[in-house]
Structure 1
Amino acid sequence: MPRRSSGLAALCLTGVLLAATACGGSSGGGDGGTVELRFGWWGNNDRAAATQRVIDAFQARNPGIRVKGSYTDFNSYFDRLATEVAGGRAPDVITLGGAYPREYGDRGALLDLSKTGLKTDRIGAAALDNGKFGGVQYGVPTGVNAIAVVVNEAVFDKAGVALPKDDTWTWDDFKRTATELAGKLPKGSFALADPTRTDMLDAYSRQRGEALYTADGKVGITQPTLVDWWTMTLDLQRAGATPPASQTAELITQPAPEQSLMGRGQAAMQFDWSNQLTALGKAAGQPLRLMRLPGESPRPGMWLQASQIYSINARSEHPREAAMFVDFLVNSEEAGKIILADRGIPANSEVRTAVQDVLGEPEKAQATFIDALTPKAGPPLVIGPAGSTDTPKILDRVNAEVLFGRVRPAAAADDFIRQVGTAIQ
């Protein structure tokens, strides 16, 4: 699930992107009539290598179609995509997440997948609805995941701190655990990186009967909830449980798993998406585990979410072939056995069953975690309205002011609510 991304100010809002242009058949292209598709996603080198293997497998089955992959790190991906869409140069198959299917779909930039014949009957409605807005299926999920606490037990053991019981721990328990770790970890290591991110605000506020956004498209999180959150994170920073503000600002620009404190072996905990377990464990050089968020009782804030969404560019000259490729990505057991759980536990039930026996230990841990969470998860997430893709950067800016001590939590809360409200009007 995306953490931070830019807005879509670069998008043309005057109807230059018309879905009708992609509803016809395919036109020829490339050498000897070969159709060339472009496929864009975000990720690290490991994801790129696996994705290329999937592309190779698809091309072997469809010799008349050539797929050109393109990827970048998460922070750069949406900036580049906004520029490509505005310039009419977006990939044929686009990877999205969060509010982006709505943002781009509402502007006519995405094809209605229900018109392509793409099969979705093996994908659960909860995950499928992550790509459906206003009755239009703008995207299909790559897999299912959840926000979680990634834990390095070895760091806990070296510090002599007991692991909390994740079925009962509260935010006070979390704060005590993080503070205890801070007093026992070596210099340069921390209990966790600063936890302020939009998905965590959503989970934290949902536990209080709120949400980051309301169903009618307004800001749902309240000022007292934000004040409590920032009061807690400031206490963690002062205790040395999280890095100083300058290091947090640096870490924000380094989103890859291997660049994180957890990936460097310098953190005991990290709030992240469950599908990041494999990459983080590989970077850290040791097995990690997943735990539920603090404060999940009596009202759960965690939810099941499509980890990523595949959509088709409404301007694609080859919508039929693009739909064939998306079908291969989400419905093919062959692709599933290559991707495994990197993009979440497969959303297609048949693919999920097919990969079960070939999953590695981290992927099995993800599947077990999702299975255990499913009956305990809260209601579906309210996806942000148009303009909400600005929220992560707004949060980063306001959070920096708090951590550097330039703004108090109450003023920061008011400023955050005001800026987000303006962005989504």
Structure 2
Amino acid sequence: MRHTRGTQVRARGGARRALVGGFATAALLLTAACGQGEEPAAEPEADGGTEAAAEGPAEIRFVWWGNEERAALTNEAVDAFMAANPDITVETESVDFNSYFDRLATAVAAGDEPDVITMGGAYPREYGDRGVLMDLEEVSEHLDLSTLDASALANGYFSDTQYGVPTGVNTFGLIVNPAVFEAAGVELPDDETWDWDEFVDIATEISANTPEGTYGVEDPTAPDALDLYANQHTGLGLYSPEGEIAIEAETVQNWFDMTTTLMEQGATPQASITAELAGQPAPEQTLLGRGLAGMKFGWSNLLSAYSTAAGQDMIMLLPPGESNHEGPGMWLQASQLWTISKNTEYPEASAKLLDFMVNSTEVADILGANRGIPANAEIREHLSTGLTPVQQTEYDFIERVGGHADGDFVVGPTGSTESVQILTRLNDQVLFGQLEPAAAAEQFVTELTAAVS
């Protein structure tokens, strides 16, 4: 979700500088650098330089994007950290999402990036490969990552380096309305064994046994679903670990053949409805949220929203095909990643802050699931009391996927966000009969390759 509230700055006592206007000092430094060249590096201290500084009193900067609620919760967690670590001062800043990465780019160009940086999307790979981010193995003495799910940690691992720590996780799976299954007289599948053929049969049976306008499943075509499908069938998703296109046209064609069959059999809506729904992502506007579909591929953090919209507690199932092909296609997706600047003067203090944020029950009580379900199983267990039934379902599913997924996660390369627009357009053309699945598949691979090149 994009938060669009104004920049919030919170300067801590004793901080190195006050931040004004979101990385404003970075812009000043960049201007100075353009006119005078780079400043010479500081002479190392005789007793060890950076490491020695990190062992004494430290003043670090921590930045993230988010709204006022997230800022208040995060600052409360930082206060708890400083109370436990009185020799470390943390200066915090919350920036609206739309300007966050532009300001970060300016700060990095000026050599004035924060010590602890929040990342997301394809940006971790971009900044990691540019040498901006620290290899977290260097601070492993102060940052325990062994407590986190391996498949969640993989979100921050690329170029053979662990650059990021997941703030929390969700997962992409199948959201199901049991009431629609019951009304159709269809039993819920065994999601440990079912395949895509059974998925098509079940969706078709639901549509046949419910009133007109109710469907077995909404059209499942989306980059995340296609990535999952490709992972299952070939062991590689849309992209390779090197940031290149990995999916083959044959896999995409098989996907389009399946979704075309779903529509022709009435298991999914006609093309005009699917095209209309593509522009209405809010849960209450979907067929599932209106009680008019039995299944929909989606993210686990929307389970409560779909349940509220439909007035029916939803559940989550493993997607079809998870046990019948090359391997599982599911993964745990980091809501965000916390990273450390490679240029920080205080690597030890920065690592201690991240360790506190992901491993402290005190922080868990403050943040809850504000940044996703915790990737630490012990923290999830700590928070499990007092959950609503739907929240418990989400927590349990994350726990299940944590043990199911193989941890093989590939961060999308720069340009990969264009996959949504490309796939949506081609899917419409296939469903409207304007393109054959084979031609659409070839075009998808060609266009996506161009987007990330």
Question: TM-score normalised by the shorter chain: which range applies?
Answer: 0.7 to 0.9
Q: Which of 95, 106, 115 is equivalent to 2:129?
A: 106
Indicate how the Cα distance of structure 1 residues 104 and 185 shifts in structure 2: closer, same or farther if over 3 A, else same: farther
Question: Counterpart of 1:146 in 2: which secondary structure?
Answer: strand
The aligned residue for residue 224 of structure 2 is 199
The aligned residue for residue 27 of structure 1 is 16
Does residue 58 (structure 1) correspond to residue 77 (structure 2)? The answer is: yes
Does residue 311 (structure 1) correspond to residue 338 (structure 2)? The answer is: yes
Find the aligned partners of 1:27 and 1:276 in 2 and give their Cα distance. 40
Q: Which of 336, 354, 367 is equivalent to 2:382?
A: 354
Q: Which of 297, 306, 322 is equivalent to 2:323?
A: 297
Find the aligned partners of 1:288 and 1:168 in 2 and give their Cα distance. 21
Give 1:197 shift: 1.5
Identity of aligned pairs, percent? Answer: 38
Give 1:170 shift: 1.7
TM normalised by structure 2 equals 0.71
Does residue 332 (structure 1) correspond to residue 360 (structure 2)? The answer is: yes
TM normalised by structure 1 equals 0.75
Question: Counterpart of 2:384 in 1: which secondary structure?
Answer: helix
CA deviation map 1:328-357 (0-9, x unaligned): 542332332355456544112442232133
8 Å Cα contact 2:206-2:215 kept in structure 1: yes
The aligned residue for residue 249 of structure 1 is 275
The aligned residue for residue 10 of structure 1 is none
CA deviation map 1:336-390 (0-9, x unaligned): 2355456544112442232133433223323333444455434613333444343
8 Å Cα contact 2:271-2:428 kept in structure 1: yes
Find the aligned partners of 2:352 and 2:73 in 1 and give their Cα distance. 13
CA deviation map 1:182-215 (0-9, x unaligned): 2333444332222112221122122222422334
The aligned residue for residue 286 of structure 2 is 260
8 Å Cα contact 1:40-1:93 kept in structure 2: no
Question: Counterpart of 1:346 in 2: which secondary structure?
Answer: coil
Indicate how the Cα distance of structure 1 residues 327 and 280 shifts in structure 2: closer, same or farther if over 3 A, else same: farther
Give 1:287 shift: 1.1
Does residue 173 (structure 1) correspond to residue 195 (structure 2)? The answer is: no
Q: Which of 411, 416, 424 is equivalent to 2:444?
A: 416
Find the aligned partners of 1:258 and 1:108 in 2 and give their Cα distance. 43
Does residue 277 (structure 1) correspond to residue 303 (structure 2)? The answer is: yes
Aligned-residue RMSD, C-alpha? 3.8
Q: Give the number of aligned pairs.
A: 387
Which amino acid is 1:333 matched to? T
CA deviation map 1:371-411 (0-9, x unaligned): 44455434613333444343333222322322333221111
Indicate how the Cα distance of structure 1 residues 36 and 204 shifts in structure 2: closer, same or farther if over 3 A, else same: closer
8 Å Cα contact 1:152-1:267 kept in structure 2: yes
Indicate how the Cα distance of structure 1 residues 191 and 60 shifts in structure 2: closer, same or farther if over 3 A, else same: same
The aligned residue for residue 96 of structure 1 is 120
The aligned residue for residue 55 of structure 2 is none
Question: Counterpart of 1:200 in 2: which secondary structure?
Answer: helix
Q: Which has the higher contact order (CA 8 A, sep 6+)?
A: 1
Indicate how the Cα distance of structure 1 residues 395 and 35 shifts in structure 2: closer, same or farther if over 3 A, else same: same
8 Å Cα contact 2:154-2:408 kept in structure 1: no
Question: Counterpart of 1:357 in 2: which secondary structure?
Answer: coil
Find the aligned partners of 2:267 and 2:367 in 1 and give their Cα distance. 35
What is the correspondence of 1:136-175 to structure 2 with a 5 Å cutoff?
136-175=161-200
Give 1:166 shift: 1.7
| Unaligned runs of at least 5 residues, structure 2 | 2-13, 21-58, 84-88
